Structure 1
């Protein structure tokens, strides 16, 4: 029998006291007891006050959030939970489904939407901000939990935490973080806006207290001591991905894991595909009991590290400071290798907020009585201390001291460390900004037709309400005027006679595709620039890709590798020509990474900038990564190996994913030629081989349907419904198979196709099937000709079944051989992996 949920226990017309008693009983049944700060905050929630909750990591803020959701349900209202990280949103969604029942809980992240009309919604902060912009005070968001509220001060994303406070005047807020600092200006604004009291609940009491230690011994000795003292698992905090990987490699010389743990780890990862170039290194680290965790890794590798860590199998995890939010790794000790970091502009001592956010992850509730935070002294000072000791023991008075690093270093000492421990976090500062996406959202708000000034007036009012100072507001108003002109010039906005009032009204063009997105600051430039391309040009599809790439952020690490490769090739060519060293160096001075159509793009942008002064400091960034991969038909692994990107596979993956989204969401339908669709399908197929978990999101984007993790809440996706995309995917899968066969990579060929249990095609079978072809023709051709559409045939063969064939191109041009197979989607209309079942090659 199914256990009743917390919502099922709600009595009719429960008052605050009855609700509190019900909640206490539920908490007790779970074997928990409330801390004083939790109890105080929950009472304030049930009294219908706003709450600012400032308590340490692990102190049970989530229970207070559950209380707010319960309070909302009891009053017949709708509540939202927001977080900065999609993974946390998903995790909270499943947690709340268990507490309140899946029929009452929904999720929206921008990548997925589940049960969007539910009484409780889990979403990213940006989603709620967009709802607030589009619906204003009428938004069905009566109670709002804003987790990790310190993001309010984030320069890039902080505006999403401020907008709901400005626009949701009827909502009740719960703002939570371990590192809020002084929030009095925010509290005063909420009280003025809503007319209700803000209760501030703060406590320094941690369920697992922290001990702080400053280490002046070499790093490996410090780690060994901590492991010997039973203070593992230890997170080794670095501030670059390179340092994280180097420390993981250095730790291979030390045995932290027992033989039994190593055997268990080997069993745990036996089914994991470490099939990218860096995969072998990751596998080696893990089998040795060492974890590596940073944003340059593929998501699947990070998830393996998190899973092994939760099982207590990794004694030391080397990673970056991204640990603070959204990483589910239970730790006993956090060890800082440095107390300074490069913030994008300069190297500086960590902020108190950053330090406490990371340090707060030490100590596992329910496992540890004590958590530990250790900071290493500067490495050169530790080494000098050892040199001094050796010199003193040998009776030497003179010795050479090791110098401090010349760059990327700011000195710190134990006093610096103690100040970070003892000082409160810095006050939160407003980071409000206006964007063209914000204006579009405001213009789409219902009721604008009856409102004088419409959405533009709403934006000006919003700037006036913001938490910025007067000088900043004046600048933002000027920027808003420029934004409006730019959107109108790009035909995103239309000014027309007002339907109900005198004068004119501003509306969003009705013929923009439903998934049109302005997620990039220069999306308007892309839309305008696409119109300058010649659709009859043989380079049209590649130029569409190039324009998309020009508005994406530069993955600098990848581009520098491209530049290194170009320089190496040029130097080798000049050496072969006998050019002297000095001349060679001069010739490579001005070299940069590939920038196809750069002059054309810069000219277009100059025109765009004259007509759209709001772009300000923005600029286009021509480059060729997506284009380069497609032109040479390189797989993800091929590209990683060629450029030596092993330690930054995740960087490449994120860039390719961003490029894919731009192609699908921002390129209007009129510019999606058949070859553009082929390019989209190529990346889908190539990257599916790397991390299939990304494909669900892509299918949703391509077919305009919601991806769901609760099947009964949405109909199954049918990828064959949109025929152009479906056939492009078929061609891409067949091309990937032919490429593998042409290269003699039989294992890869087997991985490119679906496998029938009663008729599998393994590597040996592919090799045997192609052997007669190779004996007759010598080699299989895979070039542009082999990928022409006339080489692929797709014929319907009943409902959700198709016969497919792919002509194999030979050097003589006879082309009598073909791969024949079928696609059967009767049981699964949205397969994540390969679709094609091979029947014959002959």
Structure 2
């Protein structure tokens, strides 16, 4: 988030603000349409016929299904729906499938309607939730529909990317509002809806109002299609030469997108003037270590990368550079099909098959058209281009055939014999191929019919129980009104009854002998929190599990973190990398011990990622579930990501490098951000020790130093409408913007002290394991000239210590603050800190320690703690 307050977007002139005339009381449809049309004209926008048709129907209070191509201006129609609702004094909702789009739309609407009129509600928090225009994910709207039904205060409801109705996991959330909100005026939008007959009938029957389908719009920027058997790099050079850039190269995995981008740096895509302009634009952008350095080189050559594994600040930079016309090629994933704002002229698909989480299969028509539809920039291009590459083995075989044809000078017999005798390259094992015929079929194919994905969960039942009507009747109506088959409806009803019985058996529900005044036959015996199922659904379990911990334990703060980590979604790229690293290290140990191959494989197969407290948490979870059956919708997931970083004394970049996560930095950052805000939101103040507060300060600083955008957005949302919290948020943001020079890596002393303490204890752990090589490597990383960069120097210290003592402990007590000393103002070293990690010997004398100086300016420059060991031996002053 830029700036200190939610104000009109700096990119939009103040005249862009769309206000309801103060003279209106009950505006007519004609007044609504004319006012909006005049506002649009003032922005330099003239309505397409399809937009005009849709907006006229919305002004007349009808439902609209906008099934028009990408680039035909559906967003402007949605803007009209919000304006009409505002003018009529109605509350309006905008929903989208992913938070990134919801957030983007939120800031866009703030720029048009003003911050006082727009709010956002997500599963994490909310801002201005009482505003007349609300942006939210589909699940938020569905939960409100379940809780309040026909009593919900709603007018226009805009459901963007409505084809997610068919999503196997989330489709229920797109169906529930259509059934449960008869008072709403729906605007359903997507370029790939297919047959909409069933939606028209459902909405018309349920609301008593007409449904108008707008689908005949011609694409403002027509598309041309090409099937390419030219090698990818050559094809991109050809497209650039024909002025068909920018090109978005679509891959179906983040790894492929990143690797392909690296192979494009040699392309001569930019003129000298373009290269200079791009270099000037990037001068002020701060690229961090890790993938940032690679991305910097790519961007300077005119090549961008865009996928969900990147840090948000990098994705936004690529989007901005693309919007400014400074990138010629962007290598990314098929997230492009979900409305990501990257304006491009040409879409090049590297394939027509993808892994969908279960199997590798060919793209369906809907997926193809969603991606292809992004080609062509309205207002810039007269035509968009869609290119599909043939499979790599086909391209290579055809290239080989062309070479043979050239070699034999047009002699058909010799050419045929040469091609026959030369073995063809075969596709890789498990490859799902495609051909030009596949491409041609997809080009003309209509989107597949959307399949109903209704389901019944504990959370849905509990939401319905909040209604002022009989929940049994309400649930039956919801299921029988769904688009499921009769057989599937019967299955869902049985599931709902099973859930009701479990809630009754657990004492969460009570059954009435007679219906009450609202017709209820059952009711809750407990009071659910207002944001039930909107935040971490297992947060109440985590709070209960904290009672199992000993606040006096030296590892209490780490154990609190482990409890919270167990309720977060698992970042599988990170935990997978942890397993890979563990297997690599364990394999080396097993080989050194002479363990035979079969036994090695058995041991390695049993390895998993670190799961602190797993046994005790899983036992407690079973006990908790008996009284709260709804938690069965969710799975406890013990893991160690934040804790692992603390125990290994890792910075963000250390973790990325150690586990090879350069292509998944964004995944790690999102997880750390989720962990930070869940810790802040969930752990009661009485359970927060000083050590835990220190670790939270450190974690917040890690996130801010890496990419503050996610955390700033959450902090602004968490401030809500509290004037004091808003003022504090404004003050902090203003201070960050105006402070010069900016606060460095050591600026937050409390967080930096945690970094130093963790790093010093890591040295004690390696000392206890007698790993002189690893200790020397730590020193050599930042100060290679130090005598402690030599493993022999550490070996001497180890020999001296173990001549006197038999062991050094690295347990919870050894990690305590009692064994760490820090002097922030040593007289002999200005600009440094002096730290001592006391070694906890087996006799309890504790008269040895690792002494070190921390160079603050060097730490700021390196964005890491620059620790130089001074000596290892008897305790003494600096």
What's the TM-score, normalizing by structure 1? 0.80
Q: C-alpha displacement at 1:256, in angstroms?
A: 1.3
Matched residue, 1:190: 203
Q: CA–CA distance in 2 between the matches of 1:101 and 1:243?
A: 42
Change (3 A) 1:166 1:483: same
Question: Deviations for 1:665-708, whole angstroms, at most 9, x for unmatched residues?
Answer: 4556676555554444332222221111222245468xx53289
- Of residues 533-542 and 563-572 in structure 1, the stretch that sits farther from structure 2 once superposed is 533-542
Instruction: Find the aligned partners of 2:494 and 2:631 in 1 and give their Cα distance.
Output: 12
Could you say which residue in structure 2 is the equivalent of 1:413? Answer: 435
1:800 — aligned with what? none
CA contact (8 A) 2:479 2:489 kept: yes
1:652 to 662, 668, 688: 668
Match of 2:179 in 1: 166
Tell me the distance in 1 between the aligned counterparts of 2:514 and 2:719: 34
Q: Is the 8 A contact 2:164 2:171 kept in 1?
A: yes
Q: How far does residue 380 in structure 1 lie from its aligned partner after superposition?
A: 0.4
Residue aligning to 1:81: 94
- Residues 162 and 667 of structure 1: is their aligned pair in 2 closer, same or farther, counting only changes over 3 Å? farther
Instruction: Choose which of 422, 438, 442 in structure 1 pairs with 2:444.
Output: 422
Displacement after TM superposition at 1:2 (Å)? 6.6
Q: Contact (CA 8 Å) 2:543, 2:682: kept in 1 or not?
A: yes
Match of 2:56 among 16, 40, 43: 43
Q: Secondary structure at the match of 2:706?
A: coil
* CA distance in 1 between partners of 2:673 and 2:370 (Å): 29
Contact (CA 8 Å) 1:807, 1:815: kept in 2 or not? no
Is the 1:82–1:124 contact (alpha carbons within 8 Å) kept by the matching residues of 2? yes
- The alpha-carbon distance between structure 1 residues 499 and 39, as it changes in their structure 2 partners (threshold 3 A), is closer
Going from structure 1 to structure 2, the CA distance change for 1:465 and 1:593 (only over 3 Å counts) comes to: same
| Counterpart selection for 1:255 from 268, 285, 289 | 268
Structure 1 position 437, deviation (Å): 3.1
Q: Compared with structure 1, are the counterparts of its residues 127 and 610 closer, same or farther at alpha carbon in structure 2 (3 Å cutoff)? A: closer
Per-residue deviation at 1:332? 0.1
* Aligned ranges 1:317-332 → 2 under 5 Å: 317-332=330-345
Please say if 1:386 is aligned against 2:399: yes
Aligned residues: 765
1: CA distance, partners of 2:95 / 2:366 = 20
* Whole-Å separation in 2 of the counterparts to 1:391 and 1:420: 33
Superposition deviation, residue 4 in structure 1: 8.6
Hey, what does 1:631 align to over in structure 2?
647
1:477 is the counterpart of 2:490: no
2:450 is equivalent to residue 436 of structure 1: no
Greater mean alpha carbon deviation, residues 106-115 or residues 180-189: 106-115
Asked if 2 retains the 8 angstrom alpha-carbon contact of 1:341 and 1:408, the reply is no
Residues 268-417 of structure 1 mapped to structure 2, 5 A cutoff: 268-392=281-405, 393-394=407-408, 395=414, 397=417, 398-417=420-439
Q: Which residue of 2 aligns with 1:788?
A: 817
Correspondence for 1:825: none
Moved more, 346-355 or 575-584: 575-584
The 1-side partners of 2:635 and 2:18 are apart by 52
CA distance in 2, matches of 1:377, 1:41: 40
Q: Is the 8 A contact 1:516 1:666 kept in 2?
A: no
Q: Tell me which residue corresponds to 2:738.
A: none
Q: Which residue of 2 aligns with 1:7?
A: 19
The counterpart of 1:560, out of the listed 576, 581, 594, is: 576
CA shift for structure 1 position 286: 1.1
Q: Which residue of 1 aligns with 2:869?
A: none
Instruction: Summarize the Cα distance change of 1:486–1:699 in structure 2 as closer, same or farther, 3 Å threshold.
Output: farther
Structure 1 window deviating more from structure 2 (63-72 vs 576-585): it is 576-585
Aligned to 1:622: 638
Contact 1:482 1:614 survives alignment (8 Å): no
Alpha-carbon separation, structure 2, partners of 1:440 and 1:109: 19
Match of 1:233 among 238, 246, 252: 246
In 2, Cα distance between the equivalents of 1:700 and 1:490? Answer: 39
User: Which range moves more in the overlay, 574-583 or 401-410?
Assistant: 574-583
The residue aligned with 2:523 is: 506
- CA distance in structure 2 between the partners assigned to 1:101 and 1:621 by the alignment: 41
State the shift of 1:410 in Å.
1.3
Give the superposition deviation at 1:115: 3.2
2:745 aligned residue: none
Distance 2:94 2:714 in 1: 25
Q: Is the 8 A contact 2:229 2:389 kept in 1?
A: yes
1:706 is matched with which residue? 720
How far apart are 1:177 and its partner, in Å?
Answer: 0.9
Once the two structures are superposed, residues 383-403 of structure 1 have per-residue CA deviations (whole angstroms, 9 ceiling, x without a partner) of: 111222223334462444444
Q: Distance in 1 between matches of 2:287 and 2:501?
A: 51
Whether contact under 8 Å (1:112, 1:697) holds in the other structure is no
Query: For the residues of structure 2 that align with 1:33 and 1:615, how far apart are their CA atoms?
Result: 52
Give the Å deviation of 1:68.
Answer: 1.9
Native 8 Å contact 1:630 1:682 kept in 2: no
Describe how 1:113-192 pairs up with structure 2 within 5 A: 113-192=126-205
Counterpart contact for 1:112–1:707, Cα < 8 Å: no
CA gap of 1:271–1:786, structure 2 versus 1, over 3 A, is farther
Q: Tell me: CA distance 1:344–1:815, structure 2 relative to 1, closer, same or farther (3 Å).
A: closer
2:411 corresponds to: none
| Change in 2 beyond 3 A, CA 1:97/1:200 | same
Change (3 A) 1:386 1:543: same
Deviations 1:740-766 (A, max 9, x none): 89999xxxxxxxxxxxxxxxxxxxxx9
Per mean C-alpha deviation after superposition, the further-off stretch among 78-87 and 540-549 is: 540-549
The worse-fitting range, judged by mean Cα deviation, of 309-318 and 542-551 is 542-551
Evaluate the alpha carbon distance shift between residue 491 and residue 130 of structure 1 in structure 2; reply closer, same or farther with a 3 A threshold. Answer: same
Relative to structure 1, the CA distance from residue 459 to residue 423 in structure 2 (aligned partners, 3 Å threshold; closer, same or farther) is same
Rounded to whole Å, the distance in 2 between the matches of 1:10 and 1:618 is 49
Alpha-carbon offset, residue 74 of structure 1: 3.4
Stretch of structure 1 that moved more, 229-238 or 632-641: 632-641
Q: C-alpha root-mean-square deviation of aligned residues, in Å?
A: 4.2
Q: SS state of the match for residue 331, structure 2?
A: strand
Q: 2:593 aligns with which of 570, 574, 577?
A: 577
What is the CA-CA distance between 1:56 and the residue it aligns to? 0.6
Q: Does 1:683 align with 2:699?
A: yes
Deviation at 1:317, TM superposition (A): 0.4
Which residue does 2:754 correspond to in 1? Answer: 735
1:533–1:739 Cα change, 3 Å: closer
3-state SS in 2 of match to 1:144: strand
Distance 1:120 1:593, change over 3 A: closer
Instruction: Give the direction of change, closer, same or farther, for the CA distance of 1:127–1:517 in structure 2 (3 Å limit).
Output: closer
Shift of 1:406: 3.3
> Contact (CA 8 Å) 1:432, 1:468: kept in 2 or not?
yes
CA shift in 2, pair 1:21/1:612, >3 Å: closer
User: Does the 8 A contact of 2:250 with 2:350 survive in 1?
Assistant: yes
Distance across 1 between alignment mates of 2:30 and 2:340: 37
Q: Is 1:215 equivalent to 2:232 in the alignment?
A: no
- Checking the alignment, whether the CA contact within 8 Å between 2:85 and 2:92 is kept in structure 1 is yes
Checking the alignment, whether the CA contact within 8 Å between 1:352 and 1:420 is kept in structure 2 is yes
Listed one character per residue, the Cα deviations across residues 267-325 of structure 1 (whole Å, up to 9, x for unaligned) are 22222222231111111111121101111111111111111111111100000101112
Matched, 1:60 2:73: yes
1:266 to 268, 272, 279: 279
Distance 1:5 1:75 in 2: 18
